[in-house]
Amino acid sequence: MQKAFLVDGSICLGCNTCAMACKNQYHQDKGILWRKVREIGAEEYHIDNNNILPTLVSYQKAPKAEMPMERFYFSLACNHCENPACVAICPVGAHTKDPETGICKHDQTICIGCGGCVKACPFGASKFNEKMGQAEKCSMCWERQADGKTTACVQSCPVGAIAIIDLHDPKYKEYANASPIGIDYAINAETKPTTRFIHPSMPKEVYRLPKG
């Protein structure tokens, strides 16, 4: 089993409810977002100031997709990689990969704040909290899931644009190779990220007033 986020960009409103629901649940400090809603086709993504090194997501050249400004989005938190760099690099075992669910968990009570995971994660999922001197990241609300609830982001999405799937379940095979639109490299990263995407498209008929 490998739990994974399936993000449906075709219905995502870009409303950031998911990102804020995550803050509502865990109270991330100002400047830190475990889940971030990114605009497709933007010239550049907002830089994650708290990352020690630039990451793939924030440092790659502009995505190739041509979409109207501020209309199409994808929501991204930890990718809960199949081969997670954070788990490999963590010297104290604060990062673990749950053998049953495949969730990449971070335990702040063990974390020594070395920042290795923040450097290692190609997606900027691990954030460094300078005030606490520790790392932090999305652990797919494993406590909520263990309690019979779904994640804060999934529960709060007003249109059901985020779902949790089992990537190893054959019925989700069609999503196996879907990177976010315009960012073709993401899915091929060595860490084997598990987040999958349904691509958005423009409305079939769009009429704009003639120029002039």
Partner 1 sequence: MSYSKENVESIVNNGISRRSFLKGLAASGVLSSFPGGILQANEDLNTKIPYLGEKSYQTFRNACPRNCYDTCSIKTYVKDGVMQFIEGATESTYTRGGCCVKGNSYVKRVYSARRLKYPMMQVGGKGSGNWKRISWDTAMDIIAKKLLEIKKEDGTLLGAALTKYSGNFGITHYGIEGMFNSIGYTTRLAGTPCWPAGIDAQNLDMGDMWCNDPEEMKDSKFIILWGVNPASNSIHSMKYIYEAKKKGAKVVVIDPVFTEAASKASQYIQIKTGTDGLLALGMAKIIIDAGLHDQKWLDANSKGYKEYKAYLDKEIKLDNVSKITGIPLAMIKELALSFAKAKPATIWMGYGMQRHTNGGSMIRAIDAFVAVSGNIGKYAGGARYGHLNTWGFNYAALSQPKPEGSVGYTGPEGAKGEFAQVGGEKAAYTDRFLNINKTARELINAKEPKVRLLWVACKNPFAQDFDRNQLIRAFQQLDLVVVADQFFNETAKWADIVLPVTTQFEEYDVNVSYWHYWLTLNEQAIKPLFEVKSDLEIAAMLSKRMNQLQAGSCTFPQSVDTKAMMVKEFNPGIYEQFGIKSWEELKHGPVKAKAVIPFADGKFKTPSGKFEFYSDKALELFGSALPTYLEVRKPYDKFRMTSPHTRWSLHSQFQNLEWMEDVHPEPYVYINPEDAEAKMVKEGDTVAVFNKQGLLRLKAKLTDNVQSGTVLMYEQWYNNNIYNVNELVDDTSSDMGAFKTGAPGVALHDTFVNFRKL
Q: Does 93 bind partner 1 (CB under 8 A)?
A: no
Tokens coding 150:
């779904």
> Which amino acid would we find at residue 187?
I
| Stretch in the footprint of partner 1 (CB under 8 A) among 54-62, 79-87, 153-161, 169-177 | 153-161
β-bridge mates for residue 38, sequence order? 74
- 50 binds partner 1, rule: CB under 8 A: no
Q: Does 179 bind partner 1 (CB under 8 A)?
A: no
Piece of 7-15, 165-173, 181-189, 190-198 that binds partner 1 (CB under 8 A): 7-15
One of 53, 64, 158, 169 touching partner 1 (CB under 8 A): 158
d(CA 186, CA 172): 18
Site string for partner 1, 61-80 (x = CB under 8 A): -------xxxxx--------
Residue type, 135: A
Q: Which amino acid is at 131?
A: K
- The reply to whether 30 sits near partner 1 by the rule CB under 8 A is yes
Cα–Cα distance between 16 and 46 in angstroms, integer?
A: 14
Near partner 1 by CB under 8 A, which window of 52-60, 81-89, 147-155, 184-192? 147-155
How far is the C-alpha of 150 from the C-alpha of 194, rounded, in Å?
A: 18
Do residues 118 and 111 lie in contact, with contact meaning Cβ atoms separated by under 8 Å?
A: no
Binding-site size for partner 1 (CB under 8 A) equals: 59
Q: Which residues contact 76 (CB under 8 A, 6 or more apart)?
A: 7, 35, 36, 37, 38, 57, 123, 180, 195
Considering only 108, 113, 165, 192, the residue that binds partner 1 (CB under 8 A) is 108
Give residues in contact with partner 1 (CB under 8 A).
11, 13-17, 19-21, 23-33, 37, 43, 68-72, 107-109, 129, 131-132, 136, 141, 143-144, 147-149, 152, 155-160, 200, 202-212
